[in-house]
């Protein structure tokens, strides 16, 4: 039988232990591995592997000795509880072996969990599981997790109160990060909120999201964009002491002001432009950049980008002027440009 969508997610979270087998396949090995980990953990629990209720069989070993899978399915361990036989990286060459194993399966045997790469509709391996009355086949595609998937992950981690803004931020992150990185971010969020009864907020997500630029650079760029002219020089000196080069500072400033310009010139307004930024920004930093884009406006941001382009050319030229002094002067000029 074939599983898809919400039905597949429900089975991964709460698998039916009396099923003979499950095939999980897909082009992204990480997505397939995460689903396989989820379903096996749900079947045998956290101590299942330690209690030897999980048997792993490499596809290469099974090709050499087809009897391995049948013996493992029927074997009885010392510890009570559900058992799983896991075959990794299977291909159509194992379809007959696995079909025979499923045909010989009886109540009380272990569940057969098989993972594979991309399989088309004519795949013999897919047909083996989809055509079996007591087995499932589930394709894992490159679509990002849905809001329901994210909520389920957070609830499983013990977080039940999630604000709307936090869910929006997590959904955006899910589209930008690969599955493994997103899973790590969710785990980090759960640890961050451990013991905190307050609902998960956008600020919490921002604190756990992967950083997009260095925090030290962020400080000086926000200072410039917010026209806090007296604070620019001390921050530049601190960056210089930390080894940040003038060219690196120029690149970061140009990236920041290009982002503000893109937001300010977005057809739907600055808020829509900020929401569409890639990589995404979250929490207080998002609100801060929105205020900056609205304060500067498109025309002054074009002037700012012109100043930064000229400064970058000067930094890369044969000029003998102290490079950091040139960059500092440009940043002060930018800060003064937006003074009302």
Report if pTM > 0.85: no
Q: Which CATH superfamily hosts domain 2-139?
A: P-loop containing nucleotide triphosphate hydrolases (3.40.50.300)
- Tell me if 304 sits within 8 A of 332, measured CB to CB: no
The pLDDT of 283-300, averaged and rounded, is: 85
**pLDDT bracket for residue 241 (50, 70, 90):** confident
- What is d(CA 279, CA 289) in angstroms, rounded to the nearest whole number? 14
Could you give the angle at which helices 29-44 and 5-13 cross, rounded to 10 degrees? 50
CATH of 215-337, one of 2.102.10.10, 1.20.1050.10, 1.20.272.10, 3.40.50.720: 1.20.272.10
Residues in the chain: 340
Distance CA 333, CA 165 (A): 36
Q: List Cβ neighbours of 230 (8 Å cut-off, separation of 6 or more).
A: none
| Ranges of CATH 1.20.272.10 domains, the chain | 215-337
Q: Provide CATH 3.40.50.300 ranges for the chain.
A: 2-139
Across 73-82, 126-135, 211-220, least confident range: 211-220
48-62, 248-262, 312-326: least confidently modelled range: 312-326
* Cβ–Cβ under 8 Å, residues 292 and 184: no
pLDDT score of 210 more than 50: yes
315: Cβ–Cβ under 8 A, 6 or more apart, which residues? 246, 247, 250, 323, 326, 327
């Amino acid at each position: 039988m074939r599983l898809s969508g919400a039905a597949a997610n429900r089975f991964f979270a709460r698998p039916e232990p009396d099923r003979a087998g499950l095939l999980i396949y897909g082009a992204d090995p990480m997505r397939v591995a995460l689903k396989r980990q989820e379903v096996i953990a749900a079947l045998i629990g956290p101590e299942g592997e330690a209690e030897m209720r999980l048997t792993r069989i490499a596809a290469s070993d099974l090709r050499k000795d087809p009897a391995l899978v049948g013996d493992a399915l029927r074997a009885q361990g010392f510890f009570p509880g559900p058992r799983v036989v896991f075959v990794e990286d299977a291909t159509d060459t194992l379809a007959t072996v696995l079909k025979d194993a499923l045909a010989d399966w009886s109540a009380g045997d272990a569940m057969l969990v098989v993972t594979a790469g991309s399989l088309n509709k004519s795949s013999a391996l897919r047909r083996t599981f989809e055509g079996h009355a007591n087995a499932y086949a589930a394709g894992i595609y490159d679509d990002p997790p849905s809001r329901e998937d994210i909520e389920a992950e957070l609830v499983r981690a013990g977080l039940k109160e999630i604000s709307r803004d936090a869910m929006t931020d997590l959904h955006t992150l899910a589209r930008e990060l690969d599955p493994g990185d997103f899973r790590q971010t969710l785990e980090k969020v759960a640890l961050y909120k451990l013991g905190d009864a307050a609902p998960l907020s956008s600020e919490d997500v921002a604190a756990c999201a992967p950083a997009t630029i260095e925090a030290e650079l962020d400080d000086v760029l926000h200072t410039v964009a917010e026209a806090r002219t007296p604070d620019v020089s001390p921050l530049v000196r601190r960056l210089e002491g930390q080894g940040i080069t003038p060219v690196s500072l120029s690149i970061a400033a140009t990236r920041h002001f290009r982002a503000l310009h893109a937001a300010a010139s977005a057809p739907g307004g600055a808020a829509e432009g900020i929401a569409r930024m890639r990589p995404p920004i979250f929490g207080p930093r998002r609100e801060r950049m929105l205020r900056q884009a609205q304060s500067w406006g498109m025309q002054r941001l074009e002037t700012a980008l012109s100043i930064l382009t000229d400064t970058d050319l000067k930094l890369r030229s044969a000029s003998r002027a102290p490079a950091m002094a040139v960059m500092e002067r440009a940043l002060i000029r930018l800060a003064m440009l937006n003074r009302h």
